[in-house]
Structure 1
Amino acid sequence: MKCPNCQHENLIDSKFCSDCGNKLINPSFPKQGIPTWAIIVLSICFIAIGGLGYAYWDFFNDKKSYTTAYSEINDNQKINAQQVSSEELTKKQEAHAQQVDRVTLIKEIQQKVFTVLTNNSQGSGFLYKKGGYVITNAHVIQGEVDVMIRNANGQEFPGTVIGISDRYDIALIKVPNYQDTEPLGMETVESPIGLEVIAFGSPQGFENSASIGYITGNKRDMKLENFIYKQIYQVDAQIDKGSSGGPLVDVNTGKVIGINSLLYTTDTSTNFAFSIPLYSMLDQFDGWIAKPLSANEVRAIANVYEGSQQSTIETKPTNETDALLAGQFVQAFRLYYEMALNDGDFYWIADMLSPGSTAYQELEKYINEIAYQGHYFYFTNNDVLDVQYSNGQYYVDMNETFDFYDTQGNYQFYDRYKTYTVITDDYGAYKIANIKIHQ
């Protein structure tokens, strides 16, 4: 093999030139590169492997995303389901709590509601103020001074009547055994129509009764025999004879809002009941506490309506049409009376009064005395409370309110209850014979 450096001829398998020592390259072992076809095959393999890897990676990520989304949906559904379940549970718990609260409320109030017993009657009452003061109706007392009260446990204690009204159907009893007992809460403002209430008492002798209902009307004025019932509540709770004097309680606050006093009845059924608003009588009760009536004073006042049974409103007068007309006649008289007062002219009402009667003489004198002095009357309310007929005469009970301004411009509001005696003359015309103002 020839040396490429010095051209010396060497053996074929020599690795170095024997003349110059240069490294020889054996032509039997030529240096070869990577074939083109191999490069192409390898490239295709690498691309295929990369594509498969990317496809697997993409599939894995999609599956993971789907799994995560599905998991989140499930989680949200679970949360919503838990929320719905929680809301239903809360409602059930609130309803149960409300039922429990009412049961608790009724039990607590019943401990301070009593059956009032006298020699001639039985009614209800409730603890008003600390000191052992029990409220009831005047018609329950019926002139008695010494009474008994029976509590929800059947225990009886003596009580003394220290207050009774000849105008309103209310009375107050002092019971020493309860002087240290905390009384029921009292509402001091008017309650609205629609308020849910509980009526307590002993209807028909069934003691410790509680009936749930609603206030279905208010601002009702009426007069029944000797009592005036002003701005009373109309309720649909079950109240019957024996409930009189029991408390009407606000379900929401547990406070007493009224004194159960009347029920409206027909020949076939009881339709609704009435309760005296407590707030309207607080001053009267507190006045008796500050200055109790003596036994003689209680008896003297009670004699005014002795024997009265004020537990139902039965019917209107026998001739309802004539009674209605008599009431409307008095209302018309009031309109003309306002003009007579402001004009100072008796002429406006002269023909509506019975000639020579007490009403004629008194009103003629009064109008002539105040004529042209600058007084001003403005009548705001003329409600007929009741009309009774007896011995050819109608007795019309009215609630009248008016504003009065004197000559100096000083203002005063009047709220009066009057009974007009109405007769018919020879021609059948209505005439007013007498006017009684209830103080």
Structure 2
Amino acid sequence: MAKRTWSMIISSAMIIGAGTGGVFWIHQHSADQLQDGPRLAVVAAKETQSAVVTTASKEPEKKTRKQIIEESQKKVVTIESSSGLGSGFLYNDQGDIVTNAHVVEGSKEVTVRTLNHEEYKGTVIGIGEETDVAVVRVPDLKKVKPLSIAKSKAETGDEILALGSPLGLENTVTTGIISGVGRSFEIAPYIYSNLYQISAPITHGNSGGPLISAETGEVLGINSAVVEQEGGIGFSIPMTSVLKQVQAWSQNPSVGATVKTAGDTHSGSTSASLEAEGLVTDFYMSLNLSDYVTAYALLGSDWQSGTTYAKFREGYINTSYVTIGDISSTTNGNKEMEVTAVITADERRDGEYVTTKYKVTYQVGYENGQLKILHGQGKKMK
């Protein structure tokens, strides 16, 4: 409930970059959570190494902040698309650049400009519909050493660097800390889940740029949104929550596929389909706010009769969050809608976080004039 109260305090927010000059209202939504909960997470293994030496042992030289900035800037780019200007960064050695979906929406081809002002053509090979993340492939940047991606989540108080091209001012670096975690809201059509709140100043053009650890130089997140209130509050999408999707696009590029344009919703969706998909999304949003009462109320009577509220809550108490990927719906012929979604979920188990992907299917229909989730099941994906 604390998260919901916090969201209500903020009056307006915007996604930053690619010409999105408007201000969007933050909806009192958060993001997703799984039923029968996923029980996995990213686990950082600890190794202990000891050695007997006759002279003083040498530790790896720690990079200075200036060195981290100089090395990082070489892997950060400015992106020009039909939507305007944004930022991005190399994340693998195939010339693939991570950015925000709203930076490249409406474009199949974009122009990418590097630190030394060299320009290349890039192709959008993956773009989220509800998750504000996209991947652009630039063949000319293949084999260029990418930025390292952090394997664990950042914590409040961690020192960070925000790189990008705010207002077109390329190669800009701002500094700050992680000032909050677990922030979630919606800026249609995107759902932002468990974001990092940052004190480093960001604005238009920073979208898609990396949030980097000032200590290690690893990418912690993707700078994506800012609240224009009280001097501005920035938000960044954690890389741990989207890395698997990004890697999937790189392994199976959707070159030539229809690119989502601004304002698009689910292709061919009817009003009933959107309502059904929205109900499932609201279900996960409520869980993400730890509002188990609201989530339980969205279930149909048959489901509730077989699962008590206490048992329902117990099934989700250790779930950190779930990110909804693709979601679609069809009519099953019984005046009900079948909603299918691919979700990536983090859950705490035995003191550790594990991440896994599920395909979930829900039957949605009306009971006493109200739309309810009647039945559901999930299957772990390989």
TM-score (norm: length of structure 1): 0.51
- 1:353 match: none
Q: Unpaired segments of 5 or more residues in structure 2?
A: 1-60, 266-285, 324-342, 348-355
Matched residue SS, 1:129: coil
Contact kept in structure 2, 1:128 and 1:134, CA below 8 Å: yes
Q: Unpaired segments of 5 or more residues in structure 1?
A: 1-96, 308-326, 350-373, 386-398, 404-411, 421-430
Quick one: which of 254, 258, 263 aligns to 1:305? Answer: 263
- 2:73 match: 110
- 1:163 match: 126
Contact kept in structure 1, 2:201 and 2:232, CA below 8 Å: no
Contact kept in structure 2, 1:146 and 1:160, CA below 8 Å: yes
- 1:354 match: none
Task: Summarize the alignment of residues 45-124 of structure 1 with structure 2, pairs less than 5 Å apart.
Answer: 101-124=64-87
Task: Summarize the alignment of residues 207-356 of structure 1 with structure 2, pairs less than 5 Å apart.
Answer: 207-266=170-229, 269-295=230-256, 297-299=257-259, 302-303=260-261, 305-306=263-264, 332-336=293-297, 337=299, 341-344=303-306
Is the alpha carbon distance of 1:416 and 1:169 closer, same or farther for their aligned partners in structure 2, counting shifts above 3 Å?
A: farther
Is the alpha carbon distance of 1:169 and 1:376 closer, same or farther for their aligned partners in structure 2, counting shifts above 3 Å?
A: closer
> How many angstroms apart in 2 are the aligned matches of 1:344 and 1:170?
38
Matched residue SS, 2:132: coil
User: Which structure has the highest strand share of the two?
Assistant: 2
> How many angstroms apart in 1 are the aligned matches of 2:191 and 2:372?
19
Alpha-carbon offset, residue 235 of structure 1: 0.4
Contact kept in structure 1, 2:65 and 2:215, CA below 8 Å: no
> How many angstroms apart in 1 are the aligned matches of 2:216 and 2:358?
34
> How many angstroms apart in 2 are the aligned matches of 1:158 and 1:178?
10
Alpha-carbon offset, residue 378 of structure 1: 3.6
Matched residue SS, 1:305: coil
Quick one: which of 166, 179, 190 aligns to 1:203? Answer: 166
Contact kept in structure 2, 1:162 and 1:298, CA below 8 Å: no
Alpha-carbon offset, residue 286 of structure 1: 1.0
User: Which structure has the highest helix share of the two?
Assistant: 1
Query: Which amino acid letter does the alignment assign opposite residue 263 of structure 2?
Result: Y
Query: Which amino acid letter does the alignment assign opposite residue 251 of structure 2?
Result: A
> How many angstroms apart in 1 are the aligned matches of 2:239 and 2:209?
11
Is the alpha carbon distance of 1:110 and 1:304 closer, same or farther for their aligned partners in structure 2, counting shifts above 3 Å?
A: closer
Q: What CA deviation, in whole Å up to 9, does each residue of 1:55-102 have, x standing for no partner?
A: xxxxxxxxxxxxxxxxxxxxxxxxxxxxxxxxxxxxxxxxxx99x822
Alpha-carbon offset, residue 271 of structure 1: 2.7
Is the alpha carbon distance of 1:434 and 1:237 closer, same or farther for their aligned partners in structure 2, counting shifts above 3 Å?
A: same
Contact kept in structure 1, 2:82 and 2:106, CA below 8 Å: no
Alpha-carbon offset, residue 188 of structure 1: 1.5
> How many angstroms apart in 2 are the aligned matches of 1:339 and 1:433?
12
Q: What CA deviation, in whole Å up to 9, does each residue of 1:300-343 have, x standing for no partner?
A: xx147349xxxxxxxxxxxxxxxxxxx89x96443444986343
Is the alpha carbon distance of 1:135 and 1:432 closer, same or farther for their aligned partners in structure 2, counting shifts above 3 Å?
A: same
Q: What CA deviation, in whole Å up to 9, does each residue of 1:178-211 have, x standing for no partner?
A: 1021101110211111000000001111111000
Is the alpha carbon distance of 1:306 and 1:207 closer, same or farther for their aligned partners in structure 2, counting shifts above 3 Å?
A: farther
Alpha-carbon offset, residue 223 of structure 1: 2.1
Number of residue pairs matched by the alignment: 260
Is the alpha carbon distance of 1:332 and 1:212 closer, same or farther for their aligned partners in structure 2, counting shifts above 3 Å?
A: same
More relative contact order, 1 or 2 (CA 8 Å, 6+ apart):
2
Contact kept in structure 2, 1:112 and 1:127, CA below 8 Å: yes
> How many angstroms apart in 2 are the aligned matches of 1:375 and 1:219?
22
> How many angstroms apart in 2 are the aligned matches of 1:124 and 1:162?
16
Contact kept in structure 2, 1:334 and 1:382, CA below 8 Å: no
The structure with the largest alpha-carbon Rg is 1
Aligned Cα RMSD in Å? Answer: 4.3
